[in-house]
A and B are shown apart, each in its own frame.
Chain A
């Protein structure tokens, strides 16, 4: 049993930590989040230059062949700075999927551009009725000679506004809830028939709703085999759960520490409020929730990396814990900061908001508890 990181991993961790500390102070983060783009184009270039964008891509496809450990370390540090650059969306959710299942043509068209920071991607899997069930797909793709004609609707597609290409799940056969019959398509964002509604999300990021009306794509756009897209999607979402959980762990660490520091300095009744036992115990609970999440994160990441048979169960267990703990830590950080905690000015409320959306993204605690039971 070994929980230490290798030299390369430690180096990446230090690098990202340095970036967040030096280049990502709170004011900068807010400026980027409120800008039209919603993140820093220069930062994205920096990520590319430092090799972070290709770290988990296989060497065969021009990446550095790293493991999901590196992704975990990057995301945890990003969580500490509440980094808004769409690393999760473009890199973890989308390019990893293409790296493993894309055709040679798709890989050569996309992966190089993603690694050097020129292209953004987004994974469009959710639909208005689907809630968290990846196999609940109504959007339809019909074969039409050498093309597919796609009709349907995709909800809350994270990084939708910046994506040059979407990976879209659509039904090529089967009934609404069936896993079999789902196919994945790589689609240009400016293709005829695709209408986007872009908006901000409460966590300071951006998303889009996609309406697809007779979108015609050549059959070369199919990722993997026809009707067999579910497992590809499911694997990618599993990796994304690990990544977003790492982000949550980073955010929780900042919140419990910030709260502890605040209660040492905030005085009421002639004493720092951190001296009150009821608040001490609350912060101990926040700290323990963070530690428990981190333990499950390491466990689930390693199991997934090893391809352990119970990796999926471990991932659902992690996401359940992250949902529950993130809510507790976020709410209590706000509570213990008092009125300041609910202001837009203080960063605490923004960490709370990100933990709130993380609690829902890829399935909330209830959903993953049910998954856990079923696995």
Chain B
């Protein structure tokens, strides 16, 4: 067991061991998981069966009750006991190791930080409690059919008429919009010569008339993303966050806020370990697939890249905790993290050989109808679905542009 933070926080000396209190915190997390992680959810997670909304909500509430859900919020809003950077790292690692559900980021990780940083007292009181206890679900209204990488070119228009905005436009790739109660949107409130200056940040109740959600089915056959059509949707003026025209700055703030954990390192470590375990049980000739030199080399190359990315993330977090402001560094994590996610998902497909090919819909995964090893059915859908990760959140090409400009000064 090592404590990487001493290395990078620049404490008196380079030291990789965890303190006694860190070790006892880890024990506390493990005990909590043993006692509180519901068996039914665990079973689905271990079989990689997609969860229902209710199950995700239930798990998020369990985390919240322990004070381990919105761990990055200032404690005045969460009411939690503050965790140290090391404790957050340990918590995330143990949650991932136990394969607990990924928490949904749109409310807790994205909209809430905007609200507590830019919102009015009323807005905070209205929205933060229901995000914290997972009663209200949010989705993100950013991308539009014509505005992907060039997000600032967005056209959804919000026109102030008396005390209401009238919103018209189309949002796309809206993840989980089918389950969302509210949507936070970037809208155009003014046509300005510099397109970034006319953008505002608006909160919209999904129950408002004029909103229509249409599913987009992706190549893995799943329904995760949607088109959201806004037709003369009336939004009270008090749902504007910050000032009119300040939306782009808020969007940039939000992107920076996403950086912690963006690479999903802890989950990748778990998946790589699982890949090794499963491939060590697959016979190949007189040995196993894991013993095959070509397959083994790929796993080891991936492991080295993963370790490097983990330490790059730790160095970034350390710099942040000392008041640094890593903007472009988060682009490194986005690129490396998503490349690793894709590589590992691809190695799972490779591991399965022919049994990656049978195709099942989401609701058939985990049923008795599937053929091949019992873990096979979700492998190909996951690989296909994860082609998205190098596209979303600013494509990896855009991230490279950011690094080129902001870090290399090109």
Contact = CB atoms under 8 A, between A and B. Distances in A.
Given A343-B217, A349-B219, A366-B295, A126 B354 contact: yes
B358 A343 contact: no
B49 interface: no
Interface string B237-259: 00000000000000000000000
Nearest to B285: A177
Given A339-B391, A350-B219, A156 B285 contact: no
Contacts of B392: 339
Interface residues of A, number: 48
A373 B351 CA distance: 21
B387 A335 contact: yes
Nearest to A361: B354
Contacts of A268: 147-150, 153
Nearest to B147: A268
Contacts of B146: 267
Interface in B221-235: 221, 225
Contact of B148 (A131, A338, A345): A338
Interface string B354-391: 11111110000000000110000000100111011011
Contacts of B173: 339
Contacts of B400: 278
Contacts of A353: 219, 384
A330 B349 CA distance: 15
A325 interface: no
B391 A200 contact: no
Contacts of A278: 397, 400
A156 B384 contact: no
B391 A341 contact: yes
Contacts of B294: 366, 369-370
B218 interface: yes
A350 B286 CA distance: 36
A3 interface: no
Chain A residues touching B, majority SS: mixed
A360 B353 contact: yes
Contact of A202 (B350, B384, B387): B384
B286 A202 contact: no
B357 A345 contact: no
B395 interface: yes
A200 B371 CA distance: 11
A199 interface: yes
Nearest to B384: A353
Interface in A303-340: 331, 334-335, 338-339
A21 to B, nearest CB: 25
A339 B388 contact: yes
A129 B383 CA distance: 23
Contacts of B359: 199-202
Contacts of A202: 356-359, 380, 384
B189 interface: no
A324 to B, nearest CB: 12
A126 to B, nearest CB: 6
B390 A335 contact: yes
A174 interface: no
A341 B354 contact: no
A364 B150 CA distance: 38
B387 A360 contact: no
> Which interface residue of A131, A273, A335, A356 has the most chain B CB atoms within 10 A?
A131
A209 interface: yes
> Which interface residue of A273, A345, A356, A369 has the most chain B CB atoms within 10 A?
A356
A105 interface: no
A339 B172 contact: yes
Nearest to A204: B359
B156 interface: no
Contacts of A273: 149
B143 interface: yes
Contacts of A267: 146
Contacts of B286: 177
Contacts of B355: 128, 155-156
Contacts of B283: 129
A345 B217 contact: yes
> Which interface residue of B149, B285, B294, B358 has the most chain A CB atoms within 10 A?
B358
Interface string A148-191: 00000001100000000000000000000100000000000000
Nearest to B218: A342
A268 B145 CA distance: 11
A126 B349 CA distance: 17
Contact of B219 (A132, A342, A364): A342
Contacts of A133: 285
A334 B342 CA distance: 13
> Which interface residue of B218, B289, B359, B385 has the most chain A CB atoms within 10 A?
B359
A360 B172 contact: no
B353 A343 contact: no
A334 B391 CA distance: 9
A275 to B, nearest CB: 13
A370 B284 CA distance: 14
Contact of A338 (B354, B358, B391): B391
Nearest to A336: B397
B216 interface: yes
B218 A343 contact: yes
A197 B216 CA distance: 30
B219 A343 contact: yes
Contact of B358 (A131, A207, A276, A366): A207
Contacts of B390: 335
A345 B223 CA distance: 12
A344 interface: yes
16 contacts: A177-B285, A201-B358, A207-B358, A268-B147, A268-B153, A270-B153, A276-B397, A335-B390, A339-B148, A342-B388, A342-B391, A343-B216, A353-B219, A356-B349, A366-B294, A366-B350
Given A177-B285, A364-B350, 20 more contacts: A129-B283, A132-B353, A155-B354, A155-B355, A156-B358, A199-B358, A199-B371, A200-B359, A201-B357, A202-B358, A202-B380, A207-B358, A209-B371, A268-B149, A273-B149, A334-B219, A335-B391, A338-B391, A339-B143, A342-B219
